[in-house]
Structure 1
């Protein structure tokens, strides 16, 4: 009897049912779109962080900043050229410098790895290569009488160009952690554990294209030739470095044997990251620990702005619209009960109890909510698909101080890690709007909740009706 009466009432009041369902659908669709866009922005932010220091890295350890005036003077690059030859001739020189000019002892990696809660730790050396090449040209003496240009030397001088690129020394025995993990080998291969001191290199695809490099060719760094064994393409944004070398080779080139600039750390559990940070800061003095959360706080640009709007304005707008939809659905259901006084009063006169009438009204409202949920899920999925299809591009910039250690992580003067260069570059990220099963489940729960809220309004009105009210309205 319940379902028969329910089916008949829904057919008879299709327009009213559609109005209530549409209001709930609007709120539910907005919740789905906002939730999926927020998830997409979180994913985009995660890609930005991965592009800076690698997939799976929970934190980095760098040398702590020294107070102003303390420490050794910064070693500036020096170039020496011989201009004594006839005509000067072509000159070229490479200088390899540690990014930020600050390093940690390689033993620091072992200390960090031994801390409770650390699953893995690996060191890396970040360097920059400055290449200066050009030539000196001797001037020519002018003939003629003195005072009329004669005896003067004209022309000559120096014409030099400066080029630079970044080098990352990676521990080939631990390739599962560090900036290289944020790139995919698209040509050739990556390093093997046996190539600790091999003269081999992996180059970023953008740098390879710029320099015309391919697998099997030679790349000369500071007079040492390296064979290109692979070309890597960054998964998102810019690569951490232009050239990747075995750690020992990078240390030799930069005159930093037994040194690293950054220790990349993976925790055993994401819930223990803060505990690991505390342990490292306590047991490994002279270091600064920067977590992924610290670095995320320094991401700015349109990605950060849009993320803030989605998390703030978008969330509150969803709540307001959804709340308004619930209230409107409840008021419409309550109003419909008022128009059905004769019907419910007659049913009570025929023996229906208040509870049965209430259950009937709640059942109708619940069906309205489920219809609204189905419509809302459809509209929400369409909205999320549209965002993914058009993929608006957001810009992410890294800068500022990350939890007190971000500047050191960014490398201080000249940059000290993969983020050192990325901190001054803008990364373009395509926004997507992934819809999870959790979001769908939330939409269904909201649909049921909306139906129960509307049914609660209407059921309360229906339970107060008396058979006498119906009899007074019978003409």
Structure 2
């Protein structure tokens, strides 16, 4: 049971480790609306519209009607931004080891022909939707800018690189692509990938961990801020606490110091994991301790009963030993020694059996699945009325984990010690009964 519980814990750790920072990471964001689907407030809508103002596409600056055009707008569809002061405030908070910001935006490519209504007199604020989308193509992707000076704080970082390398510190024209996106676009390490009006060299491919908010591309933070015209803006702050015990208090402090902020911890991530892995872990957590205690109690009781039964069957033998001069103390030592030897042999046999079962579980290749359900984020704004083309939600993902049953040497010693203790106690019980035997009474019994 101990090995099985350790194996399930290790499996969950493999699933959650990339997201949890070993229990000391917090993710700070300012979502528009609420996780329960509550509509965003008027103030949130207004602020999000203001942050996305630079991404508006007006028709009067695209050229003459019939001209071909292509524009890329970078918008935040579900989160309000932080500025550099917020990142510095989080980094300087008590019990914080380090902090770093990241910027996630929807890159919306709009291309086609300038509509006929874009002639003279067209208002500058007129949007593509207002003029009609005939002949206009829209493609959306998600881009994340990461702080290359703190790669360990990125939700998707160097540990998830499957080919190539992570972004170099101080890099400018480098990009790391999601593995699935690169395959779909036919790109590989060394290819050139256009983002907005610039071209970037693909230096690595990554596979996002379970539950992570995947992006199609990852750029240096300063690079994305520049091409998106959002200097000093981030949409997420990753914070690493000094100790896991500090996370709860630190979460409360940061949510108070940074109004409108929602902090996500490793415990929140673990709560979202579902599937057979979570079901098995819950079962072991609820029943494992009870089963172990029940098995131990049964072992002690059965050992004592068997020893007492053995003493009862050996009454004539014990009476003979007393009759030829054995003292009660010597008789007690004899029975206790026998029980101790039986406890040692039984413990060794139990350890061997446990190791065999644990090895069989590890070799069986039992596959458990962990999944994260989709979490909807209300969309509060977008490309001048083109809201909804961003990702706006985390897609459901799953991961398969092979179950193992690692055996702890300390648990083996404890198990062997309990077997010896059971033998000693059973021997003491049997010896106490044998010590009360009188030779004459014992010799009168005939088998």
Partner of 1:446: 418
> Does the C-alpha gap of structure 1 residues 448 and 288 become closer, same or farther in structure 2, counting only changes over 3 Å?
farther
Question: C-alpha distance in 1, partners of 2:11/2:298?
Answer: 32
2:85 equivalent to 1:112: no
* Offset, 1:201: 0.8
SS in 1 for 2:283: helix
2:218 alignment counterpart:
244
Ranges in structure 2 where 5+ consecutive residues have no aligned partner: 35-39, 115-132, 381-390
The answer on whether the counterparts of 2:30 and 2:79 sit within 8 Å (CA) in structure 1 is: no
Question: What is the alpha-carbon distance in structure 2 between the residues aligned to residue 310 and residue 338 of structure 1?
Answer: 40
| Matched-pair contact (CA < 8 Å) for 1:134–1:159 | yes
Could you say which residue in structure 1 is the equivalent of 2:6?
39
Q: Does residue 1:461 correspond to 2:426, yes or no?
A: no
Q: 1:161 to 1:471 in 2, by over 3 A?
A: farther
Change (3 A) 1:432 1:339: same
For the Cα contact (< 8 Å) 1:53–1:240, is it kept in 2? no
Give the alignment partner of residue 99 of structure 2, picking from 121, 142, 145: 121
1:301-320 correspondence runs (5 A):
301-320=275-294
| TM-score between both structures, scaled by the size of structure 2 | 0.77
Instruction: Tell me which of 235, 238, 241 is aligned to 1:267.
Output: 241
Tell me the residue number matched to 2:184: 210
Structure 1, gaps ≥5 residues long: 1-33, 137-156, 401-409
User: What is the CA-CA distance between 1:247 and the residue it aligns to?
Assistant: 0.9
Q: In the TM superposition, what whole-angstrom CA distance separates every residue of 1:125-177 from its partner, at most 9, and x where no partner exists? A: 223334567899xxxxxxxxxxxxxxxxxxxx968876544322110111122
Cα distance in 2 for partners of 1:437, 1:218 equals 52
Q: Distance in 2 between matches of 1:163 and 1:457?
A: 81
Aligned-pair Cα RMSD in Å? 3.7
Q: What is the DSSP-based 3-state SS (H/G/I as helix, E as strand, rest coil) of the residue aligned with 1:116? A: coil
The whole-number CA distance in structure 2 between the counterparts of 1:396 and 1:420 is 23
1:413: which partner in 2?
A: 378
1:187 aligns with 2:163: yes
**Most deviating of 209-218 and 351-360:** 351-360
Q: Paired residue for 1:4?
A: none
Moved more, 436-445 or 112-121: 436-445
The normalised TM-score by structure 1 is 0.73
Contact 2:177 2:205 in 1 (8 A): yes
Q: 1:275 to 1:53 in 2, by over 3 A?
A: closer
Structure 1, residues 429-464: CA drift from partner, whole Å, max 9, x if none? Answer: 332222223332332233233323433432333233
1:327 partnered with 2:292: no
Which SS does the other structure have where 2:93 is aligned? Answer: coil
